[in-house]
Amino acid sequence: MECKVNRRDKEKEYEGKHNSLEDADPGKNCKSSLMTLNVGGYLYITQKQTLTKYPDTFLEGIVNGKILCPFDADGHYFIDRDGLLFRHVLNFLRNGELLLPEGFRENQLLAQEAEFFQLKGLAEEVKSRWEKEQLTSRETTFLEITDNHDRSQGLRIFCNAPDFISKIKSRIVLVSKSRLDGFPEEFSVSSNIIQFKYFIKSENGTRLVLKEDNTFVCTLETLKFEAIMMALRCGFRLLTSLDCSKGSIVHSDALHFIK
């Protein structure tokens, strides 16, 4: 004889197990406030109050029994959506704002998830973020590399694209490894500028910045060369070069790039 159990019966059975545990323990049972969701094959454990933070949403409907949701083989609620993107949906419920990792490029997919889960606030933030990225992509990107040959100023790399500044910083760290004592104090970094203000003095008085190994010394010109090569690899075009009388763009006091 084939035994059929409908969705509501299984839900009652699942809730009954948790209720029996609460009856056995009259103290505060935190498990009763937790829910495990299977979203596209990814398991997420969170509190019911997180899922019900905003009324009249898909998740709030599941928790409060307004929406019937299927179960997986282990008795967890199963939602057939993008399991990886649900991480950002859940973080939005936890934080009340959209916080995405650097370089996130799945705005349209996340907008669809926000629509499915009926989260208007998330949908609006995703739309705003996407519009800002579109505006930024249409803007001209400028890069300026200047060397004032002065301890108070030193080498200055400016770019209105923060991601390029991050790449430059990563490259400098990669070259230096752990060979430079007090490395963080050697330069200041903001979202748009890297500025070298102080320099290590070698035994013979040469101005130094980085040490790649025990024998090779990386000069300020080498740092400029690294920045120039990275700019060219990233699609920047050299616009102007001031004071090229020294015969090399690396020795120029100011370089301007555009993309």
For residues 25-32, average pLDDT: 52
Q: Are 121 and 78 in contact (CB under 8 A)?
A: no
Which of helix, strand or coil describes residue 86?
Answer: helix
The pLDDT tens digits for 168-213 are 877 766 655 434 443 334 456 677 887 765 444 343 434 444 444 4
Domain end, chosen from 137, 158, 175, is at 137
**Same domain for 239 and 150:** yes
**Same domain for 125 and 101:** yes
Q: What is the pLDDT of residue 9?
A: 54
pLDDT-derived band of residue 109, with 50, 70 and 90 as boundaries?
very high
**Same domain for 236 and 193:** yes
**What's the one-letter identity of residue 63?**
V
Distance CA 76, CA 43 (A): 9
Distance CA 99, CA 1 (A): 53
Distance CA 57, CA 29 (A): 26
- Order of all β-strands in the sheet with 237-242: 187-189, 193-196, 155-159, 142-147, 254-258, 237-242
Q: Under 8 Å CB-to-CB from 115, ≥6 apart: which residues?
A: 123
CATH number at residue 104: 3.30.710.10
Domain end, chosen from 75, 106, 137, is at 137
Distance CA 169, CA 188 (A): 10
Query: Residue 209, Cα to own-chain centre: how many angstroms?
Result: 29
**Same domain for 44 and 108:** yes
**Same domain for 71 and 41:** yes
Number of other CB atoms surrounding residue 115 within 10 Å:
14
**Same domain for 71 and 101:** yes
Place of tokens 């109050």: 49
Domain count, the chain: 2
Higher pLDDT, residue 44 or 223: 44
Q: Quick check: 83 pLDDT over 70?
A: yes
For residues 40-53, average pLDDT: 96
Q: Does residue 6 sit within a domain?
A: no
**Same domain for 120 and 160:** no
pLDDT-derived band of residue 47, with 50, 70 and 90 as boundaries?
very high
Q: Does residue 115 sit within a domain?
A: yes
What sign has the CA pseudo-torsion 112, 115, 116, 121? positive
**Same domain for 200 and 112:** no
Kindly state the tokens that stand for 244. 């090229």
The dihedrals phi and psi of 115, each to the nearest 5 degrees, come to: -65, -45
The reported pTM is 0.48
**Same domain for 177 and 220:** yes
Q: Quick check: 125 pLDDT over 50?
A: yes
Domain end, chosen from 81, 109, 137, is at 137
**Same domain for 116 and 54:** yes
For residues 231-254, average pLDDT: 73
What sign has the CA pseudo-torsion 45, 14, 39, 81? negative
**Same domain for 147 and 77:** no
Q: Does residue 29 sit within a domain?
A: no
Which helix (H) or strand (E) segment holds residue 201: the answer is strand 200-201
Q: Does residue 126 sit within a domain?
A: yes
Q: Does residue 171 sit within a domain?
A: yes
pLDDT above 70 coverage of the chain, percent: 63
DSSP 246: T
Q: Does residue 21 sit within a domain?
A: no
Domain that holds residue 104: 34-137
Distance CA 214, CA 236 (A): 33
For residues 52-65, average pLDDT: 96
Q: Does residue 82 sit within a domain?
A: yes
**Same domain for 120 and 95:** yes
Kindly state the tokens that stand for 80. 């057939």
